[in-house]
Each structure stands twice: as C-alpha cells, then as structure tokens.
Amino acid sequence: MSGTMNSVLEVSDLRKSFGGIAAVDGVSFEVREGEILGIIGPNGSGKSTLFNCVLGQLTPSSGEVRVDGMRTTGMRPCDLNRLGVSRTFQLLQVFPQLSVRDNLILAGQEHQGSMFSRLFGRADAGLGEAADQMIEFFRLSHLAAAAAGALSYGQQKLLDAAMAFMAGPRLVLLDEPAGGVNLTMLANLRERLQAYHAEYNATFVVIEHQMEFVMALCTRVLVLAEGRIIAEGAPADIRKNPIVIEAYLGH
C-alpha cells in the first residue's frame, strides 16, 4: 500500500455482539482518499451493523474507528457530520411533502460548516445556489419544484444521494443505494456517482447486496460473511474468487 495515499477512514478490529452473537467479528479495513470502496455480502453478513458502528448509530463492543486519523468510535452521527461524514440510508430520508430543492436546502443546513464553504465559496452565499448545482448535477432540474413524495422510487434515490453530497463531504457512506431501483435508474445513479467522484475526488463507501452495481462502481471490494471479511480485492478478482462465490451461492 503506498504511503502517499491518505486514509480517510480506518476501522480496526471492530466487534459488535448482540446477546452473545457476534454480528461483526473483528473487522479491520481502511478507505483511502479518492477511493470508492464496496462492501458486499449475503443478507445477514453484518454489513448494516458494521455501517452503523462506523456511523455512530451503534456503539461497537470493541475496536476502533478513525476518520482522518481522529478517533471517532462511538461519536454521535451529528458530530461525525461536522467532520464531513455523510450517509444515505436504506430507507429513504427525504421529506415527501417538501420540494426537491427544499429537501436539498435542508440537507445543506444540517451539514453547514467549513466543508460547505470550502466547496461552494462564501459561507454566506446561501444554500439555494448550492442546491441548484446539485439538482443540475444529479439531473433533477425538471423536478426541482416537485414534491419529493411525487417522485418515482428511483428518482427519490437520486435525490437521497444528492442530499448526502450537498455539503461536499469528506466521506460518504451509501447504504444499499441499488435496493429497489430499476435497471435504467440504477445505471443513471451509478453514472452520476462516478461523475461526482471524478469531479470532486470524493471518497465513498458503498454497502450493497447487489453485486453487479458494486462491481461496476467500486475500485476495491471487501466481502463480508458472518461478520468477518472473507475476501478483499479488485472487482475482477472478487468476481472469480471461489470463497466469494460459495458465500453467495452456498446459502
């Protein structure tokens, strides 16, 4: 591993047990700056528990999480937000009665801080301009004034992603972005995420059950099964890995 690449996220020997059952069982990995890391695994492999431990929704039983070298284990989601850590949820977090634009403005207010001003110039420039940039970037301009609840599920997923990126975050964790999205919309979402990555050198972690989406989007993939990492590598290597094939098909 080259020493020049900075680690944005480091997870060391993370464990989380529920009533004596280890959902996450000694997981260690790092995410380097500008990387799109995919974490895949069959249902029940511990992906969501791992994510929630990293993001402060759950407190790990043991182990450590660091963001940019700073210990963040057990830190609340709102404090992580201020460090530039953003996420999407499996269950959509959009406000259905508000317009697409207002959803983005609200997301921006939640993340207001130095990251924001660095990405969009003057901090007092207001959030409208930034919201419009995101709307354009995620190709939602024709829906800007529409109530978010009136959008298709796939369009709401795009909006959800745009909201996560609203503050120019340091690190974005995407929780099952492909879930329930039709193939056309999925290709669209993937293409927008790749474009955002290319433009801003953003660092993403994608947790996903849908292997093909991850294979097409991510630069490196970790495979989780029964709370442990069973494989790690480039998508092409993971696809051929017999241990991975067994984990997915052996269930």
Of 208, 244, 206, 199, residue with least CA distance to 223? 244
Q: What is the pTM of this model?
A: 0.83
Interhelix angle 127-137/183-200, rounded to 10 degrees, is 130
Interhelix angle 127-137/153-165, rounded to 10 degrees, is 130
Which two three-digit tokens encode residue 95?
């406000």
- The pLDDT profile of the chain, 251 residues, written as one tens digit per residue, is 334 458 999 999 999 999 889 999 999 999 999 999 999 988 888 998 999 999 888 999 999 999 999 999 988 887 888 888 888 776 667 888 989 998 888 887 765 554 444 455 444 346 888 899 899 988 899 999 999 999 988 888 889 888 888 877 889 898 888 888 888 888 888 998 999 888 888 899 999 888 888 999 999 999 999 999 999 999 999 988 999 888 877 65
The pLDDT score that the predictor gives to residue 158 is 87
For 27, 45, 207, 225, 251, the CA distances from 246, given in Å and listed in that order, are 20, 13, 19, 10, 8
Which two three-digit tokens encode residue 78?
């709102």
Of 156, 196, 199, residue with least CA distance to 172? 196
Q: How many residues are present in the chain?
A: 251
**H helical segments located in the chain:** 47-54, 77-82, 100-110, 114-120, 127-137, 153-165, 183-200, 211-217, 235-240, 242-249
The pLDDT score that the predictor gives to residue 16 is 95
Q: Which residues contact 188 (CB under 8 A, 6 or more apart)?
A: 139, 154, 158
The pLDDT score that the predictor gives to residue 250 is 67
Helix, strand, coil content of the chain in percent (nearest 5):
40, 25, 35
The pLDDT score that the predictor gives to residue 112 is 56
The pLDDT score that the predictor gives to residue 111 is 58
Reduced to 3 states (helix: H, G, I; strand: E, B; else coil), residue 87 is strand
User: In this predicted model, what pLDDT tens digit does every residue of 113-171 receive, in sequence order?
Assistant: 544 444 554 443 468 888 998 999 888 999 999 999 999 888 888 898 888 888 778 89
How is domain 7-95+152-249 classified at the CATH fold level?
A: Rossmann fold (3.40.50)
Domain ranges of the chain: 7-95+152-249
100 contacts 145 by C-beta, under 8 angstroms: yes
The pLDDT score that the predictor gives to residue 114 is 45
